[in-house]
Structure 1
Amino acid sequence: MSHIENILGRSDMHKEETESLKNIRMHSEAAYEGLISGLGAIGNIAFWACDNKNYSDDMARSDLHALGEMLMYVPGITAALKFNAEEADFNIKEREQKKKR
């Protein structure tokens, strides 16, 4: 099974075999959906943590700093995943069209 680290940022997908493209598409779409879902969950956790009396301002500030640092990079990562999924899908469909001709 492919690791998402090995398929991020690919620009040479036209060289891949169709089965490899399907694997790239599957893992990229799954990682994209997982990141989007996880970000929503982080938002919920951050929102509801504010109502916890045992959650100090210093703890919140530290957590917010860590979340902010992560979130600066996540949009680029998720965009790359979406691009990879779409690029793999495009290449698969292009090959299927060539077979029909």
Structure 2
Amino acid sequence: MPDWEEWEDYYNDNYYGTTKPPIIIMPSLRSLEIEWCPRLKALPNYILQNSTLRTLQIHCCNLLEQRYNKERGEDWYKISHISHVQIISFPSS
């Protein structure tokens, strides 16, 4: 999905104001793999905070790689609790 830019995250203050209803989407999600989405800017918090998520694989998604990079990613802390995180960059030519 090379043109996918945004995964809607309705669980935020801008959408619901100050009162957030509980949101449960994919309550048994254990593994998530995102591939070839170079324009996707971020993953929704309700997915990243899912306590059942054990494996996250991000392949060839430049913006996600920068955002969730262990060494310097601004949102690494959002995925650091996931036991298996694999981030693979675009192959170099």
TM-score bucket (shorter structure): under 0.3
TM-score (norm 1): 0.25
Bigger relative contact order (CA 8 A; separation at least 6): 1
